[in-house]
Amino acid sequence: MLQNNVFAQKETLIDELLDLMTAEATDEQTFDTEALYDDLVVALENPINLNSATKNDLDKLPFLSDIQIENILYYRYQFGAIYSIHELELIDDLDGLALRFLPHFVYVEKEEKKKNISIKEIFTRSKSEFLLRLDGTFEKKQGYDRTKSELASNPDKYYLGDPFYTSFKYRFDGKNKLQFGLTAEKDQGEQFWGTYNKGYDSYSGYVQLNDLWKFSTIVVGDYRATFGQGLVMRTEFQSANTSVLQAKTRNYGFRRNTSTDEYNFLRGVAATAKFGPVDVSAFYSYRQMDADTSGGSFSTLRKDGYHRKLTELEKKRTLKTHVVGGNVSYNHDKFHIGVTAAATLFGVPKKPEEKVVQTFLYEGKNVFSASVDYSFRIYKFNIWGETALCNNLGVATLNGISFTPVSVMGILLSHRYFSPKYDFMYAQNIFGSSSNNENGFYMGIELQPIKRWKIEASADIQQRPWVSTNTTKSAWNYDLKMRLNFVPNSRMNYYAQVVYRDNERNLSDVEGATKQIGKIARARLTCHAQYQIGDVKLTNKVIFTHAQEEKLEPTYGFAISQDISYKIPVVGIALNARYLYFDAKDYNNRITIYENDVPFAFSIPTLYGRGSRYYLNIGYNVLKNFSVWLKFAQTYYDDREEISSGLDLIKKNRKTDFRVQLRVKF
């Protein structure tokens, strides 16, 4: 019974966190919730002792802001050992959300010297998990509506494979000392077994050792790397967080790659060694990536990982890519300084297309970048930044300062400048951009005027100095957000949030001026209420959208959803369901909303037009260590008879998806 109860609680807690972290997600943002889910599972299974936790340990909890982490460490420094989890209530800036989630990821125990764990203990106290997943759509898409002879005569007009997504994962965790895993997947439309492919489309594996002699981390296989503010090396997606005061990249160093994403990772070997306050990291990666190299060069990389058609298969793993680099950092209680350098060597030269947008991008087989990053604390101020230079003399710099003038207020200021000439393959900053052609200023502020209440506001002003893929001249973007949170207790959570985005883009075909630049303003109001009664949790959301494209009439959108979650610990069943009604006139008013899903999967559908979407998600713990998950979801439209376009066209006004997952833990 206890095992079943824990089973249900973990899934509910992680879904709740992911919902909050992606509350303002748009289809233009990419959150790696799959990897985030895995990180949260590992954090739940390996809670942190608050009396011995380091900053790096707390950095692994994405729902904590940098100021909250600093305040936890300062409280321990000021008052000594923490004797009860209830002392968290006394720490400055820990809001209702932090107080709700943190106790699940930490514990309080008298600090003791670390004991060496034997190899026998690693394996006898280890946890393993195996997942097998299958996704599909009941309605037939245009790309699968063909005969064998039609496919053979014109293979690029249709998808080569079946309409199912399938994957499997194996994960081993030996007390967080030894971790290894294997992942394989095939996307919908990709061939599993036939003329063009044998087996899964992609495979990924890793072995990670932690705290071995002088080495804090050793990874062999597929891994991710993040140093500084990511201006040289950050193989992560855009960060998802719950605080406007989180505009600083977490320095994770090296960590295993558990995602099914086929682009954002390195493959090879990496290690970090500790010599007192000095960390020395080095890595090497060799991969064959997707690109069109038919002319003896390439212009861009393909990042979507799809190999469904013959033209996509012709670009599959054609580009040999070597990446080598390292980082040296000095870490002190009050400050940090680091140097990162990396070089990428391609098998054939990169030759940008003759387009204005690619004027400043590098050309050739080799590219190099190096940076200096820093952070330090003075009184109530935290200051950080990174400045990078690549071999074509392009410059990128990101700097910020946060401070808490009083215990109920936090303020953050950040500036970034990325030259149009700065171009490095693995550069990506916390704002989600590629660290190229951008000049921006960000400000965030949090107030807690009353206990359990929090007011957040942020403004991000961004200029594109050079032309981009969306604009034919320099353009400005403005992103504003305000949010009111109220968390009265562990069973209730309320918030109201307004997001306003004013972006300059190439406008639609207005009076024949297809390349005319104009403003597209979008506003979104979200009201969220969540409350739990016994084993039943109810969540209500109301969303209003407004869009104004220059020279066109304004349009409006509306959506309302009702979620219900119910867990039956005695028999190990977890249920959650949603009904959503939406009425959004056009794509500018599109509705994006996070959905509960099977473990390690995620869904943030984009909806516009008029219709309904509903789903049922069921998890059943068949045996102590064996569970089955099933998701059924359908989108029904009132205003159209066809959905999507091209090879994904469905000649019906509904789309019905299913997802099945088996999980074995031992």
Alpha helices, H only, 328-395: none
Query: Do 73 and 195 reside in the same domain of the chain?
Result: no
Query: Do 417 and 544 reside in the same domain of the chain?
Result: no
Q: What are phi and psi of 499, to 5 degrees?
A: -125, 130
The answer to whether the beta carbons of residues 517 and 475 sit under 8 Å apart is: yes
The H-or-E segment that residue 23 falls in is: none
**In sequence order, what are the residues at sequence separation of 6 or more whose Cβ sits closer than 8 angstroms to the Cβ of residue 491?**
531, 532, 533
The H-or-E segment that residue 143 falls in is: none
Query: Do 509 and 411 reside in the same domain of the chain?
Result: no
Domain end marker among 431, 459, 475: 431
The tokens for 142 are: 């245009």
Q: Letter for the amino acid at 612? A: S
Query: With 80 as the cut, is the pLDDT of residue 638 above it?
Result: yes
**pTM of the full structure:** 0.91
CATH for 82? 1.10.150
Among 40-49, 566-575, 644-653, top mean pLDDT goes to 644-653
Query: Do 562 and 662 reside in the same domain of the chain?
Result: no
CATH for 601? 2.40.170.20
Query: With 60 as the cut, is the pLDDT of residue 229 above it?
Result: yes
DSSP-derived secondary structure letter, 553: -
DSSP-derived secondary structure letter, 198: B
What is the model's pLDDT at position 451? 82
Query: Do 384 and 248 reside in the same domain of the chain?
Result: yes
Four-residue CA torsion sign, 42, 44, 49, 55: positive
Given pLDDT bands bounded at 50, 70 and 90, which one contains residue 31? low
**In sequence order, what are the residues at sequence separation of 6 or more whose Cβ sits closer than 8 angstroms to the Cβ of residue 186?**
161, 164, 165, 166, 167, 192, 200, 201, 202
Q: Which domain holds residue 87?
A: 30-120
Query: What confidence tens digit (pLDDT) does each residue in 80-91 have?
Result: 889 889 899 888
Which of the residue ranges 240-254, 528-542, 573-587, 633-647 would you say has the lowest mean pLDDT?
Answer: 240-254
440-451 b/e with 16+ CB inside 10 Å = b? bebbbbbebeee
Query: Is 632 within a domain?
Result: no
CA atoms within 13 A on the CB side of 94: 21
Query: Is 154 within a domain?
Result: yes
Residue range 2-26: mean pLDDT, rounded? 63
Given pLDDT bands bounded at 50, 70 and 90, which one contains residue 550? confident
**Cα–Cα distance for residue pair 239/229, rounded to 1 Å:** 12
DSSP-derived secondary structure letter, 115: P
What is the model's pLDDT at position 239? 55
Query: Do 243 and 267 reside in the same domain of the chain?
Result: yes
Q: Is 199 left (phi over 0), alpha (psi -120 to 50) or beta?
A: left
For the chain, the C-alpha Rg in angstroms (whole number) is: 25
Query: What confidence tens digit (pLDDT) does each residue in 350-404 have?
Result: 998 878 777 788 889 999 999 999 999 888 889 999 999 999 899 999 999 998 8
Query: Do 232 and 161 reside in the same domain of the chain?
Result: no
Long-range contacts of 477-482 (CB under 8 A, 24+ apart): 477/501, 477/502, 477/503, 477/504, 478/502, 478/503, 481/24, 481/244, 481/456, 481/457, 482/455, 482/456, 482/457
**In sequence order, what are the residues at sequence separation of 6 or more whose Cβ sits closer than 8 angstroms to the Cβ of residue 268?**
220, 283, 284, 285, 286, 323
Q: What is the DSSP string of 66-88?
A: HHHHHHHHHHHHHH-S---GGGG
**Exposed / middle / buried, residue 29 (Cβ in 10 Å: 0-12, 13-18, 19+):** middle
Q: Which of 256, 111, 250 is nearest to 173 (CA)?
A: 256
Query: With 50 as the cut, is the pLDDT of residue 59 above it?
Result: yes
Residue range 293-299: mean pLDDT, rounded? 93
Domain end marker among 387, 406, 431: 431
Residue range 555-576: mean pLDDT, rounded? 90
**Cα–Cα distance for residue pair 443/456, rounded to 1 Å:** 11
The tokens for 32 are: 């790696």
**Cα–Cα distance for residue pair 418/397, rounded to 1 Å:** 6
**Cα–Cα distance for residue pair 259/407, rounded to 1 Å:** 38
Residue range 311-329: mean pLDDT, rounded? 96
The answer to whether the beta carbons of residues 651 and 642 sit under 8 Å apart is: yes
Given pLDDT bands bounded at 50, 70 and 90, which one contains residue 25? low
What's the chain's average pLDDT?
A: 88
The H-or-E segment that residue 46 falls in is: none
Instruction: Assign 3-state DSSP to the chain and report helix, strand, coil percentages, each to 5.
Output: 15, 50, 35
% of the chain exceeding 70 in pLDDT: 93
Query: Is 10 within a domain?
Result: no
The tokens for 351 are: 């030759």
Task: Give residue for tokens 């970048």.
Answer: 369
Query: With 50 as the cut, is the pLDDT of residue 513 above it?
Result: no
Choice between 302 and 23, residue whose per-residue pLDDT is larger: 302
Alpha helices, H only, 22-63: 33-45, 55-59
Query: What confidence tens digit (pLDDT) does each residue in 273-295 have?
Result: 999 999 999 999 999 999 999 99
Query: Is 21 within a domain?
Result: no
What is the model's pLDDT at position 612? 98
What is the model's pLDDT at position 7? 47
What is the model's pLDDT at position 114? 61
% of the chain exceeding 90 in pLDDT: 56
Domain end marker among 411, 431, 451: 431
Query: Is 221 within a domain?
Result: yes
**Cα–Cα distance for residue pair 128/170, rounded to 1 Å:** 7
Query: Is 24 within a domain?
Result: no
Among 50-54, 329-333, 654-658, top mean pLDDT goes to 654-658
What is the model's pLDDT at position 153? 83
**Cα–Cα distance for residue pair 278/275, rounded to 1 Å:** 5
Number of Cβ within a 10 Å radius of residue 573: 17
Query: Do 170 and 57 reside in the same domain of the chain?
Result: no
Query: Do 255 and 401 reside in the same domain of the chain?
Result: yes
Query: What confidence tens digit (pLDDT) does each residue in 70-83 have?
Result: 889 888 888 888 98
Query: Is 6 within a domain?
Result: no
Four-residue CA torsion sign, 207, 210, 213, 219: positive
Query: Do 284 and 424 reside in the same domain of the chain?
Result: yes
Number of Cβ within a 10 Å radius of residue 306: 18
49 pairs with which residues across the strands?
107
- Angle, helices 33-45/2-21, rounded to nearest 10 degrees: 140
Query: Do 110 and 132 reside in the same domain of the chain?
Result: no
**In sequence order, what are the residues at sequence separation of 6 or more whose Cβ sits closer than 8 angstroms to the Cβ of residue 198?**
none
What is the model's pLDDT at position 32? 64
Task: Give residue for tokens 């044998």.
Answer: 198
What is the model's pLDDT at position 9? 62
Residue range 478-500: mean pLDDT, rounded? 92
Number of domains in the chain: 4
Q: What is the DSSP string of 376-419?
A: EEETTEEEEEEEEEETT--EEEEEEEEE-SSTTEEEEEEEEEE-
Query: What confidence tens digit (pLDDT) does each residue in 110-130 have?
Result: 766 666 777 878 888 888 999
Query: Do 141 and 110 reside in the same domain of the chain?
Result: no
Given pLDDT bands bounded at 50, 70 and 90, which one contains residue 525? very high
What is the model's pLDDT at position 434? 73
**Cα–Cα distance for residue pair 223/229, rounded to 1 Å:** 18
Query: Is 568 within a domain?
Result: yes
The tokens for 263 are: 């682009």
